[in-house]
Amino acid sequence: MNMILYFFLTSLLFSPSGFTKKPIWADEFNYEGLPDPKKWSYDVGNGNNGWGNQELQYYTNARKENAFVSNGTLKIRAIKESYEGQEYTSARLVSKKKGDFKYGRFEVRAKVPTGRGTWPAVWMLPTDWEYGGWPSSGEIDILEHVGYDPDVVHISVHTKAYHHSIGTQKTASRKLPGATNSFHLYRVDWTPTYIKGFVDDVELFHFDNEGEDKNAWPFDQKFHWLINLAVGGMWGGQKGIDEAAFPAEFEVDYVRVYGWKK
């Protein structure tokens, strides 16, 4: 191939940062009804010990009251209601086996809910758990927010060496006025050498591959999206729950994945 043509084609495909200019996977939520079943499945139930966090909600399966798309956005709604032995319902969408990725740029434009006891998150878990159960195979948190601390957003990673259970977590936070009443862009860039987190394109979080072992860096396997709105839990429920805040709604404009150039 002519070298001039090669560099021209490469410039069309890849941005200067090393990520593709166009998404390789996305959901723009430009449709109506339940989330696209070709891209999303659901975690269902209350999990073990409230999904390991003493959460109070029951995650439902393709129930329009808890997860639906309208007017160009995904809505995840937590409702106070008795359902399958729990006092709240909500939804947790997962892209496992429908959108799994090793490295890339991951973007979500979202508006978090208000209300003490809400705990929305957009995050990633390993698809195959190659290095064992949590936290050994890793976790990447692109956005977290707890309602008792309004407009403070968090980006984190968890590994066997670095996680909150032993006080070594790698995390960063930012006071973001308007997080609960307007949309903001949350992003993680994940490569073999670093994971960086951004809010509205301003870098907030930086975690380097220290070149040690999988206990510190298990991020060489495929991960998938999770989008959920929890109620209560060890973090979200630390200051109690304001029942008047429900129903509470977590709104997502889009999620996009840009490929990484090896």
**Active-site annotation holds for 130:** no
- Over its C-alpha atoms, the chain yields an Rg (Å, rounded) of 18
Query: How big is the chain, counted in residues?
Result: 262
CA torsion, points 223, 51, 40, 250, in degrees to nearest 10? -110
Q: Please state whether 18 falls in left (phi above 0), alpha (psi between -120 and 50) or beta.
A: left
CA torsion, points 79, 154, 14, 208, in degrees to nearest 10? -140
Q: Which of the following is catalytic: 55, 107, 144, 251?
A: 144
Q: Which of the following is catalytic: 32, 55, 84, 139?
A: 139
Please enumerate in sequence order all residues whose Cβ is within 8 A of that of 56, keeping only pairs 6 or more positions apart, or say none.
50, 86, 87, 88, 231, 232, 233, 237, 241
| 193-196 CB contacts, 8 Å cutoff, 24+ apart | 195/140, 195/157, 195/219
Contact between 145 and 120 (Cβ < 8 Å): yes
Which residue type is seen at 164? H
**Active-site annotation holds for 144:** yes
Active site residues: 139, 144
